[in-house]
Structure 1
Amino acid sequence: MKEQEHVIFREVQRPRQIWVWLVILAIAVFMWYSFIKQVIFGISMGNNPAPNAVLLIFWLIFGIAFPLGLLGFMKLITEVRRDGIYVRFVPFHIQYKPFLFKDIVNYTSIKYNSFTRFGGWGIRINFKGETAYNMGGDQGLELQLSRNKTVVVGSQNPDELVKAIDLTQKV
């Protein structure tokens, strides 16, 4: 890809919180159990069981696609290129979301609490209109954009991220 020829900094983050893994795996195990018990062995789940077709759909979504999508493919990719910062939250973004340097008024490495500021991890927008792209942790890069908007990009290496941006600004 031509656009990735000029990547100065690249960080790929994956979910690390054990509780996220446990919740997703617990849902998947329950769906597998329900599917096997009702569809394979013919033993109804509960007093008012869902039809097998509905259970099959739920099993495909929450027993296979959901865990694979979130645990297998989910990642936050942050890149610094010559013209800006690019963020992609896989599998939710098909393309990179660009934050061009011409639109960035200020940037700084920060320490923040994702739960108190944004209500959790992922792609978040708080009541102040600030947007966050974070996978976990309490460090990141805060961007003040010319449209009077604030964007926080979570990072495990915020100082390296700032150094890469500084490097592009000197050129």
Structure 2
Amino acid sequence: MTDKIVFSETQKFKQWWLWLILIGLNGLLIFGVSKQVIGGEKFGDQPATDTTLLFITGFVFLLSILFFNFRLETRVQTDGVYVRFFPFHRSFKYYSWEVIDRCYLRSYRPIGEYGGWGIRTGNKGNALNISGNQGLQLEFNNHDRLLIGTNKAKELAAVLDEIRGK
């Protein structure tokens, strides 16, 4: 990344219902571990073994940490668009203006077009999104498409207009 950054956005999962589910599951499982493994009482009508309960608790806890660390980072620079979905992309993926045929903002239906949020493939190409229904649509010279979700559509639109003017 050598050229000037003209737009930068970092998004994280902030959906209250997702965190309610993850916190609730972690709380329930920690209660179960403390009751069964530490307290010696069976947890539930058909209790799992201590090992299974500890494994499930660890898995849900690690899944929660993974969701906490997810972030979509977008950079628009004078030489192109950089994007990464951490922790799946360790480094930024770079799309130069030369390989981008069209670039515009659009509204989209995350579930209807791509089946939800995250790293997705749908009937309109690939998507990287975390929340909302606004995105930067990239159409490439090879006819591939990539939608990058944004929560700063107005700011990004102004940057794209400025770049198109140059």
Same fold (TM over 0.5): yes
Return the match for 1:79 from 75, 79, 87: 75
**Structure 2: distance between partners of 1:54 and 1:121:** 30
Q: 1:108-119 maps to which residues of 2 (within 5 A)? A: 108-119=104-115
For residue 65 of structure 2, what is the amino acid of its counterpart?
A: L
Match of 1:145, as an amino acid? F
Q: CA deviation at 1:120?
A: 1.2
SS of aligned partner of 2:37: helix
Instruction: Pick closer, same or farther for the CA change 1:53–1:4 going to 2, 3 Å.
Output: farther
Indicate conservation of the 8 Å contact 1:109/1:159, yes or no: no
- Contact 2:136-2:149 within 8 A present in 1 as well: yes
Deviations 1:58-111 (A, max 9, x none): 222213x2223213x222111112322111222332222222222110011111
Distance in structure 1 (CA, Å) of the matches to 2:3 and 2:95: 18
Instruction: Check whether the contact 1:129–1:149 (CA below 8 A) recurs between aligned residues.
Output: no
Q: 1:129 Cα deviation (Å)? A: 5.7
Structure 2 vs 1, CA of residues 43 and 140 (structure 1 numbering), >3 Å: closer, same or farther?
same
Q: CA deviation at 1:136?
A: 1.0
Q: CA RMSD in A?
A: 2.2
> Is the contact made by 2:3 and 2:79 (CA closer than 8 Å) also made in structure 1?
no
- In the alignment, which residue of structure 2 is the partner of 1:70? 67
Give the percent of matched residue pairs that are identical in Structure 1 and Structure 2: 30
Rounded Cα–Cα distance in structure 1 between residues aligned with 2:162 and 2:20: 40
Matched to 1:15, the amino acid is F
Q: What runs of 5+ residues in structure 1 fail to find an aligned partner? A: none
1:16-165 correspondence runs (5 A): 16-46=14-44, 48-63=46-61, 65-71=62-68, 73-126=69-122, 128=123, 130-165=125-160
Report the AA paired with residue 163 of structure 1.
Answer: A
Return the TM-score normalized by structure 1.
0.83
Q: What amino acid sits opposite 1:77 in the alignment?
A: E
Taking the aligned partners of 2:88 and 2:36, their CA distance within structure 1 comes to: 32
**CA distance in structure 1 between the partners assigned to 2:87 and 2:29 by the alignment:** 22
TM superposition shift of 1:125: 0.6
More divergent stretch after superposition (48-57 vs 95-104): 48-57
Which is further off, 98-107 or 54-63? 54-63
Give 5+ residue unaligned stretches, structure 2. Answer: none
Distance in 2, Cα, partners of 1:94 & 1:38:
40
